[in-house]
C-alpha cells in the first residue's frame, strides 16, 4: 500500500479527540445499553476505517466484517428481527455495486462492502434515515471535491461521518433509548 500525502501526527491526534468526543456524546445521548454498544462500535471502528481510507485509500475488510457481525449479533441478541435492515442493506449494497462496476475508480470495493454494514447501524435507529444518510454522505463528498478541486477523494470518512451525524441528530432511537 502506498501512503497518501495527507498523513500527519497532528491529524491522528485530532481524529482520536473527535472519536472520544463522539463516544462521550453518545453515552449521554442514548440510554439503552444495546444502542450505546452499537453506537460505540460505529464510532470506534468507523473512525478507524476512515483513517485507513484517508491514509492509504484502502480499508481492511476484517474490520468491515467485524462491524457487520457485531451489528448482526446485537440485532439478534435483542430479539429484533433483522430482516428489514438486511433487506435495506442488500438494496444499498446493490446500488453501490452498480456504481462500482460502472466507474471502478470512483467507488472502491471497500466502499461497496462498508456501505451495507453502515446501513445496518443506521437502520437500528430508524429505517427512514437511510436515504438521508446516503444524501448527507454524497453531498458532503461532492462539496468537498468541488471546494478542493479534487477528482479522487476518500469516501469512507463521508459515509461514516454522515452515519454518525444522522444517528446523533435525526434519530429517535426506535429500538434503543
Q: How far apart are CA 172 and CA 13, in angstroms?
A: 31
pTM of the model: 0.89
- Per the listing, cell 432511537 goes with 173
pLDDT on residue 73:
92
Give the list of residues 6+ apart from residue 18 with CB closer than 8 angstroms, or none. Answer: 47
CA distance 147 to 169: 25
d(Cα 172, Cα 63) in Å, to the nearest integer?
Answer: 27
Q: Is residue 172 helix, strand or coil?
A: coil
What band does 4 get if pLDDT is binned at 50, 70 and 90?
very low
Domain segments of the chain as ranges: 9-170
Summarised one tens digit per residue, pLDDT across range 109-152 is 999 999 999 999 999 998 999 999 999 999 999 999 999 988 88
- Please, what is the average pLDDT of the chain? 89
Confidence (pLDDT) at 6: 52
Q: Which of 14-23, 41-50, 108-117, 166-175 has the lowest mean pLDDT?
A: 166-175
pLDDT at 27: 87
Q: How confident is the model over 3-31, as a mean pLDDT?
A: 80
Categorize the per-residue pLDDT at 8 as very low, low, confident or very high, splitting at 50, 70 and 90.
low
Q: What is the helix, strand, coil percentage profile of the chain, to 5? A: 75, 0, 25
Amino acid at each position: 500500500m502506498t501512503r497518501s500525502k495527507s498523513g500527519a501526527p497532528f491529524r491522528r491526534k485530532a481524529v482520536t479527540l473527535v472519536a472520544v468526543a463522539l463516544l462521550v456524546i453518545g453515552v449521554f445521548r442514548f440510554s439503552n445499553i444495546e444502542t450505546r454498544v452499537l453506537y460505540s462500535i460505529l464510532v470506534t471502528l468507523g473512525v478507524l476505517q476512515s483513517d485507513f481510507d484517508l491514509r492509504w485509500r484502502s480499508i481492511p475488510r476484517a474490520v468491515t466484517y467485524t462491524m457487520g457481525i457485531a451489528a448482526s449479533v446485537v440485532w439478534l441478541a435483542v430479539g429484533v428481527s433483522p430482516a428489514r435492515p438486511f433487506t435495506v442493506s442488500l438494496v444499498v449494497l446493490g446500488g453501490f455495486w452498480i456504481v462500482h462496476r460502472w466507474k471502478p475508480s470512483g467507488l472502491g470495493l471497500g466502499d461497496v462492502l462498508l456501505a451495507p454494514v453502515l446501513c445496518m447501524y443506521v437502520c437500528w435507529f430508524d429505517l427512514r434515515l437511510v436515504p438521508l444518510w446516503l444524501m448527507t454522505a454524497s453531498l458532503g463528498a461532492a462539496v468537498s471535491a468541488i471546494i478542493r478541486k479534487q477528482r479522487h477523494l476518500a469516501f469512507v470518512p463521508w459515509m461514516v461521518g454522515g452515519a454518525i451525524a444522522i444517528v446523533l441528530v435525526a434519530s429517535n432511537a426506535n429500538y434503543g433509548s
